[in-house]
Amino acid sequence: MDPDPGEVPCDDVPVADKRIRGNRKRPANKRRRKQTAQKAAAKPTKVCFISGKEARYRDPKTELLYHSLVEFKEIRRLLEAGELQLASMAPPGETSSANGKSKYLRSSQQASRRRRRTSQDSDDSNDDEPGWNITEEMKTRLRGSSWLKDELRDGGLRQLIEQIDGASDDDGENNRSERQMQMRVQRNRGVSVSPRELELARTRHSHPKFASFIDKFLLTAGVLQPADGRKSEGIESLMEEPGQLVLAPIPRRKAGGDSEAGEGGQDDESGTDGESSSGSDDEDSDSSQESSSEGSGSESD
């Protein structure tokens, strides 16, 4: 059958030159876009000094990075309270940024760690248990610690703290099998451990300097104390050579009913003590009267 004069053979189908040139350019453009995205992902993210979010601005007085106006006001409040110092007054080589040189993390580790944080966290049930609440005395001791302020200027340390704080985020809990295994272990042991506590234990095990920081932090707050009772030497000398540390006695917290019952019990005990003491006083007076009468009788004889 003869082909239709209007038809063109398949081998002679014309191809648009623009389409060919476009197909040749697309892979190059895709590679450039991919390289740009990789460079942007590899670039260290600057974090806010207060909230840990991505920093957008820098405070000219303190040289601290912040995210929004809320964090800026908090920085100025800390500056007025004397808890921060001006950048011009800071010693040479010290920085408050979380991207500086760190003794806790190498530069490669600092660049690879990112903050994962969410406000929805329901794993803080242990905070209300007796003996584990942060008291005002602890806050006062931590705020007044010059050692703690110097340590928190270390960017690597702050990243480790942020990593522990963000351990309960959804990004860190996607491994279903690992979560199920942890739940089975906790059920067998009869304990409930939060993701943050697990991450804290792992970080202390893998970073000896961080473990030493935690011990000194708890010593500063008054949670730990030297086993040999060297309290009179001052916190500065204890920080240099803390030695073996033990838990400090926990102040006993009483509820309203318990305290009232305790006071009533003390009153009852004091009442019984009063009766016994009055009884003993009567006995002493009787014995003294008898001795005096005997003495007078002997004198009359």
Strand 245-247 to 65-66 pairing? unpaired
**pLDDT per residue as tens digits for the range 52-111:** 778 888 888 888 888 888 888 888 888 888 777 665 555 444 444 444 566 776 655 555
Q: CB of 223 within 8 A of CB of 248?
A: yes
Q: CB of 49 within 8 A of CB of 57?
A: no
Q: What is the mean pLDDT of residues 251-264?
A: 49
Q: What is the largest CA-CA distance in the chain?
A: 171
pLDDT at 173 over 80: no
For residue 298, the model assigns a pLDDT of 46
Percent of the chain with pLDDT over 70: 42
Number of Cβ atoms within 10 Å of the Cβ of 113: 16
pLDDT at 273 over 70: no
| Reported confidence tier of residue 227, pLDDT bands at 50, 70, 90 | confident
pLDDT at 222 over 50: yes
pLDDT at 50 over 70: yes
For residue 195, the model assigns a pLDDT of 80
Q: What is the mean pLDDT of residues 193-220?
A: 87
Cα separations in angstroms, 191 against 178, 183, 186, 194, 205: 17, 10, 5, 10, 20
For residue 205, the model assigns a pLDDT of 92
For residue 172, the model assigns a pLDDT of 45
Question: The tokens of 223 are what?
Answer: 């949670």
**pLDDT per residue as tens digits for the range 8-40:** 555 555 555 555 554 555 566 777 777 777 666
pLDDT at 218 over 70: yes
For residue 57, the model assigns a pLDDT of 86
Residue 247 forms beta bridges with which residues?
Answer: 224
Evaluate if pTM is beyond 0.85: no
**pLDDT per residue as tens digits for the range 123-171:** 444 444 445 678 888 888 888 888 898 888 888 888 888 888 877 654 4
Mean pLDDT of the chain: 66
CA angle 157, 186, 182 (to 5 degrees): 65
The mean-pLDDT minimum among 96-105, 156-165, 188-197, 252-261 falls in 252-261
Q: What is the mean pLDDT of residues 185-200?
A: 72
CA separation for the pair 301, 294 (Å, rounded): 11
Q: Domain ranges in the chain? A: 46-84, 136-171+192-247
Q: Which among 153, 133, 139, 129 is positioned nearest to 62, based on CA atoms? A: 153
